[in-house]
A and B are shown apart, each in its own frame.
Chain A
Amino acid sequence: MASRQDKDGRGRFPGRVTRRGLLKGSAASGVAALGSYGAGAQEVQSETARSGETVDVSLNINGADHSFTLDARTTLLDLLRERMDLTGTKVGCNHGQCGACTILLDGTRINSCLMLAAAADGKAITTIEGLGRPDELHPMQAAFIQHDGFQCGYCTPGQILSAVGCVTEGHAGSRPEIREYMSGNLCRCGAYKGITEAVAEARDATIEWAEAT
């Protein structure tokens, strides 16, 4: 899959203004509070660890190898967003209840908010930035666009990574099965019908894509 990556594996392209960069430079940066679903309402954003013991962690992220020295408390989600600026992976509930933080770990979908980066040492991660490129979308990305599998888009990176996992695990055989095996991803806009259609349509192409990469 490395051939599909830009040089640093971060999915960034020269000269583009990112939403994150824009926020950082504006008054909005201090109020980017994220909604919290269910548990842990007192937490507004990921804790950024500043003290405590450190661990050395090596990961392959979107095809590129990286080594880090991290506070042991760092979750994969913290690492991707705060250290790698891979902000396509979203913070939703931060407690494994909403699926917004879904990534692929050695090809298997997981909640990155509940996994310590240290526990993933030596493994390979795929985020939405590494799945496809703007000029060569992964078939699941294209299918989400085709079927309006989103409105606001916040849950979409997690939905798409989860959908790829759903297919490769062999649980996209019917629409009821897709609904059951996509239940770990909540969409507050209620785009479930389009999501289900997208997964069903992109199933075969996703398998072909996985075999080709």
Chain B
Amino acid sequence: MVDKKSRGHINSDLEFKKKKHAREMKYQVLSFGLMIGLTIVAFLTVATDGVGSWFTIPFIILLAAIQVIFQLYYFMHMNQKGHEAPALFLYSGVFVAFITVLAFVTIIWW
């Protein structure tokens, strides 16, 4: 069941494929640098004296959220085509997560 036509097509595409993968890799390395940077900023914010917790806590949670978006869209390839169903599954999970956390920090045991 060898498809000769598509095989020839793939052959001529080797250079293109390699370039495409290298370009993806470049963005992934860039996003890794950014993630390291965000992590360091979060740790420094906590280590710095005189910054009120009213600022620190929302700020580091925002940094975590940004970092996770890079992880999901670049490292886990959600920026590529064909990720509609994964996005649906993941965001449904995030939605339930948000409600759960909201309920636990506002209503339960208070």
Q: Do A and B bind each other?
A: no
Q: Which residues of A contact B (CB under 8 A)?
A: none
